[in-house]
């Protein structure tokens, strides 16, 4: 039998760290226990809300509700270099979904070609906007013995964005024609046109100007030469891809086979691309935020940038923006943006973006053609999504020619020649 503990003198206190035994339930002198629940808990919450700073109140209430578990979930910060596809990762809803899965993405923004030609040490992922830049990175990594995994969550074709007055002028001149089959909404004001690339480039070669083509009939005066403006070919994937597309069309649907051909092809097309200079900024930002009808009436952008604008516009105004339209080149090239994972954390992000249904749906809402995670082909979700909102659905013609870009080394040679680019910086490692 355990001996009885001597009684503590009245008023005595234990020393530091002295244990104080709990009295048996119901024993004399037992301190009453407070059961927090029902009305009492509600009063406690109100009292805390008045007495404590807001962050402390939030923490206490989360603990009381059982919604906060300790230790807190680990949040991994992903260091990323991205070009135009940062549109996806900067979306607030995408950021929320990524945080829910334990990822925060810190983005360093630069052009696709800069991503490919600069050092990538210290980054978890890079996301150039097309395959040529991604191939440059993976090739250099392989040479250094550091292979990288690539992910293709969605695609977005290169398109020429313009305004209705210019599209209708091209239509009247027999250079473009409205898309009709498979569209929804008001077909009397088509959002999409098929552009005959050969005829369009001939206008530039012949020195034709918009006033020569009759743009004044549509209330616009523009004495500039007829051509499409791109972002700087030295920096951007869209600029380099359009260069390859123009070269392919101009040379009878042929790509250069050697360095000599590449140099000649570059000389042939230089004036078709740089007559009005090569802007440094991304064309979509100017096209969608400024009325550039008299400055840059046709800009080379990605399809998703235009569709995302139309989706936002329809949600706000109840109708699409009929003042802005797209020209789809008759010779087309679908860009293949590739997220290149350089670390294990980067691979986890790539898997999540490629396979997570929430993120795939959000990509569709941002205008991307989402790839099916199981088959690798693009799904029909985007067409259905646009149809539900009475936004016309773009279609491709079976008669269109698919462009073939030059081999990577030859494309790089042509970009250097046309853009007079500075020598590449330290290569991707």
299 within 8 A of 160, measured Cβ to Cβ: yes
As given in the structure block, the two tokens for residue 316 are: 């706000």
**124 falls within a domain:** no
Q: In order along the chain (429 residues), what is the average pLDDT of each group of 10 residues?
A: 43 42 44 43 47 49 43 80 88 96 93 80 88 82 84 90 96 93 60 96 94 94 90 84 93 94 95 66 74 80 93 95 95 82 95 94 92 64 91 80 83 90 61
**295 falls within a domain:** yes
* pLDDT at residue 25, as a whole number: 44
Full-model pTM: 0.77
* pLDDT at residue 135, as a whole number: 83
* pLDDT at residue 397, as a whole number: 67
**28 falls within a domain:** no
Cα-flanking dihedrals φ and ψ of residue 289, to 5°? -115, -20
**238 falls within a domain:** yes
Domain of residue 267, CATH code = 3.40.190.10
* pLDDT at residue 375, as a whole number: 52
Rounded Cα distance between 288 and 429, Å, is 36
**179 falls within a domain:** yes
**89 falls within a domain:** no
**CA 22-23-29 angle, 5° bins:** 125
Domain count, the chain: 1
Helices 237-250 and 131-143 cross at an angle (nearest 10°) of 110
**315 falls within a domain:** yes
Query: By residue range, what is the domain housing residue 251?
Result: 156-335+399-419
**CA 415-418-422 angle, 5° bins:** 65
Tokens 């000389």 belong to: 267
* pLDDT at residue 210, as a whole number: 94
**Which residues lie closer than 8 Å to 170 by C-beta, 6 or more apart?**
176, 193, 195, 200, 213, 327
**307 falls within a domain:** yes
């Amino acid at each position: 039998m355990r001996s009885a503990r001597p009684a503590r003198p009245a008023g005595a206190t234990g020393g530091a760290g002295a244990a104080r035994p709990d009295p048996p339930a119901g024993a004399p002198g037992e301190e009453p226990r407070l059961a927090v629940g029902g009305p009492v808990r509600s009063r406690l919450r109100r009292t805390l809300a008045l007495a404590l700073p807001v962050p402390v109140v939030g923490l206490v209430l989360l603990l009381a509700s059982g919604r906060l578990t300790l230790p807190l979930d680990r949040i991994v910060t992903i260091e990323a270099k991205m070009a135009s596809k940062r549109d996806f990762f900067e979306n607030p809803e995408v950021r929320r979904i990524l945080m829910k899965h334990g990822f925060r993405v810190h983005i360093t923004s630069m052009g696709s070609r800069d991503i490919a030609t600069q050092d990538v040490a210290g980054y978890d992922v890079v996301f150039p906007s097309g395959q040529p830049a991604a191939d440059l990175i993976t090739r250099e990594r392989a040479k250094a013995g550091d292979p990288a995994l690539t992910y293709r969550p969605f695609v977005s074709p290169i398109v020429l964005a313009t305004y209705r007055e210019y599209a209708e002028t091209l239509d009247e001149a027999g250079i473009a024609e409205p898309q009709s089959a498979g569209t929804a909404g008001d077909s009397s004001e088509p959002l999409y046109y098929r552009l005959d690339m050969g005829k369009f480039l001939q206008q530039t070669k012949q020195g034709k100007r918009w006033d020569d083509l009759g743009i004044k009939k549509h209330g616009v005066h523009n004495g500039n030469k007829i051509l499409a403006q791109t972002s700087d070919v030295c920096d951007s994937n869209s600029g380099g891809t359009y260069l390859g597309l123009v070269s392919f069309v101009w040379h009878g649907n042929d790509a250069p086979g050697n360095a000599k051909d590449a140099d000649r092809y570059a000389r042939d097309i230089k004036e078709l691309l740089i007559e009005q200079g090569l802007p440094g900024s991304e064309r979509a930002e100017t096209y969608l935020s400024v009325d550039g009808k008299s400055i840059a009436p046709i800009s080379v952008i990605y399809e998703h940038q235009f569709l995302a604008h139309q989706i936002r516009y329809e949600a706000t105004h109840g109708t699409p923006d009929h003042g802005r339209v797209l020209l789809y080149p008759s010779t087309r090239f679908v860009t293949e943006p590739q997220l290149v994972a350089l670390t294990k954390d980067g691979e986890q992000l790539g898997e999540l973006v490629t396979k997570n249904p929430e993120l795939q749906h959000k990509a569709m809402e941002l205008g991307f053609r989402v790839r099916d995670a199981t088959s690798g082909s693009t799904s029909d979700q985007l067409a259905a999504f646009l149809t539900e909102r009475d936004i016309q659905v773009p279609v491709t013609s079976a008669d269109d020619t698919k462009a073939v870009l030059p081999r990577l080394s030859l494309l790089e040679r042509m970009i250097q020649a046309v853009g007079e680019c500075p020598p590449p910086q330290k290569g991707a490692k």
